[in-house]
């Protein structure tokens, strides 16, 4: 996220921050602008912590499109943010939707991020589990073994996961995949 903000500052990329709480978004925006003064943050929105109605999703899509954002950063949680991005993709004009999970909290200075060597090792999930065991243990008890199994199946050639099937379902037209 920080690398894209850095590179995008000179190119005039417009960013929209979607997710977290209003307080988190306020702190995040302040810290991003302090680090990247030329960054163009064209809006932010903290959605309610519940399922959105169809009308609310339509209103949010209108708001995001009116902002003129090139990139919409989505800081919800997994799998909520991935499901939201897949559902909203066709309604949004932004070139990119990027799910960043806890990055909003990290870059707002609200949560400690794993040391760089742990991030590079692929074990940041373990660091986060140690920091927030009560909140994350159920998610990781399901997600980590499933991810390891599916990765092993794919690497061994026992299973394939085409991006079109994962994002749009197996009956989706191939042209839709170009939006990803």
pLDDT at 174: 41
- Shared domain for 154 and 69, answered yes or no, is no
Q: Tell me the two tokens of residue 22.
A: 């209003």
- Shared domain for 107 and 123, answered yes or no, is no
pLDDT digits (tens, 9 = 90+) for 138-180: 877 887 788 889 889 989 999 887 765 544 454 444 444 344 3
- Shared domain for 124 and 82, answered yes or no, is no
Domain end among 111, 142, 172 = 111
CA distance 114 to 135: 17
- Shared domain for 5 and 21, answered yes or no, is yes
Structural domain range at position 59: 1-111
- Shared domain for 124 and 136, answered yes or no, is yes
* Number of residues that make up the chain: 180
Strands of the sheet with 96-99, listed across from one edge: 40-45, 14-19, 71-75, 96-99
Residue 43 has pLDDT above 80, yes or no: yes
pLDDT at 85: 96
pLDDT at 68: 98
Domain count, the chain: 2
- Shared domain for 82 and 120, answered yes or no, is no
Model pTM score: 0.75
- Label residue 136 by pLDDT band (50, 70, 90): confident
- Shared domain for 52 and 138, answered yes or no, is no
- Shared domain for 152 and 66, answered yes or no, is no
- Shared domain for 59 and 70, answered yes or no, is yes
- Shared domain for 93 and 134, answered yes or no, is no
Query: Which residues lie closer than 8 Å to 43 by C-beta, 6 or more apart?
Result: 16, 17, 63, 64, 67, 69
Domain CATH code at residue 19? 3.40.50.2300
- Measured over the CA atoms of residue 129, residue 134, residue 135 and residue 136, the dihedral's sign is positive
Domain end among 111, 134, 160 = 111
- Shared domain for 105 and 18, answered yes or no, is yes
More confident residue, 127 or 95: 95
- Shared domain for 104 and 136, answered yes or no, is no
Closest CA to 1 of 129, 119, 91, 90: 119
Domain end among 111, 140, 163 = 111
User: Exposed/middle/buried for 107, CB within 10 Å: 0-12, 13-18, 19+?
Assistant: buried
Contact 15, 100 (CB under 8 A): no
Q: Tell me the two tokens of residue 99.
A: 């799910």
């Amino acid at each position: 996220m920080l690398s894209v903000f850095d590179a995008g500052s000179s190119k005039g990329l417009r960013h929209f921050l979607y997710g977290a709480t209003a307080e988190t978004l306020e702190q995040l925006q302040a810290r991003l602008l302090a680090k990247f003064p030329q960054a163009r943050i064209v809006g932010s929105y903290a959605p309610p912590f519940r399922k959105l109605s169809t009308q609310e999703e339509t209103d949010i899509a209108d708001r995001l499109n009116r902002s003129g954002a090139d990139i919409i950063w989505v800081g919800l949680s997994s799998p909520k943010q991935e499901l939201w991005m897949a559902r909203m993709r066709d309604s949004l004009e932004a070139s990119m939707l990027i799910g960043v999970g806890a990055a909003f909290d990290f870059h707002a200075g609200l949560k400690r991020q794993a040391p760089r060597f742990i991030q590079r090792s692929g074990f940041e999930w373990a660091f986060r589990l140690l920091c927030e065991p009560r909140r994350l243990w159920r998610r990781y008890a399901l997600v980590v073994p499933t991810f390891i199994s599916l990765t092993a199946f794919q690497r061994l050639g026992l299973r394939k996961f085409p991006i079109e099937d994962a994002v749009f379902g197996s009956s989706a037209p191939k042209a839709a995949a170009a939006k990803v």
